[in-house]
Every structure is written in C-alpha cells, then in structure tokens.
Amino acid sequence: MEFTTLFWFCFYMVFLVISSLIGYQKGHFIAGVLLGYVLGPIGALVMYFSKDKKHIICPACEAEIHHKSYYCPMCRAQVRGHVKVD
C-alpha cells in the first residue's frame, strides 16, 4: 500500500474507535460506529455533542444520575416516576 492510503485508512480507523467509545459511554454505540465509519472526525464530533441517554437530571438537586435510579445518591430524593426518560 502507498503511504497516503495507509495514512488515511489509519486516520479514519482512529476516529471510528473514538466515536464508538463516545457512543458507548452515551448509550449510542451503533450510531457511534456508523458515524465514525462514514464521517470519521465529523462523526466523532457529532457523537461528542449528542444527548446522553444513560443519565438524567435529578429534579430536586439537579445532579446527573443514572436513568434507572429510584433515588438520587446526592440528595436521596425519589426520582423514579417523577422524571420522564427519553
């Protein structure tokens, strides 16, 4: 392979991995893989600025908590049933 072809292949593979990891952390793994594969660095930016599906905001103290929590670990307020999960 030519050097430039190998460079661009490695460049896009790095951003595929980066966007996949960001997507996994935010609950969008498949979208991260597809965006990283198709768009490369732009896909990684899109995944970085996408909405986090694994966390919600506590209505009492506004702390970021896991979306399956029944009680907020910070203020011990009940959050299950009070917060709409997207």
Distance of alpha carbon 4 from alpha carbon 44, whole angstroms = 22
Q: Could you read off the pLDDT of 27-40 as tens digits, one per residue?
A: 889 999 999 989 98
pLDDT at 70: 84
Q: 82 pLDDT band (50/70/90 cuts)?
A: low
Q: Could you read off the pLDDT of 14-31 as tens digits, one per residue?
A: 999 999 999 998 888 999
Distance of alpha carbon 80 from alpha carbon 84, whole angstroms = 9
CA 39 distance to own-chain centroid: 16
Q: Which residues pair with residue 65 across a beta bridge? A: 56
Instruction: Give pTM, 2 decimals.
Output: 0.67
Burial of 45 (0-12, 13-18, 19+ CB in 10 A): middle
Q: 77 pLDDT band (50/70/90 cuts)?
A: confident
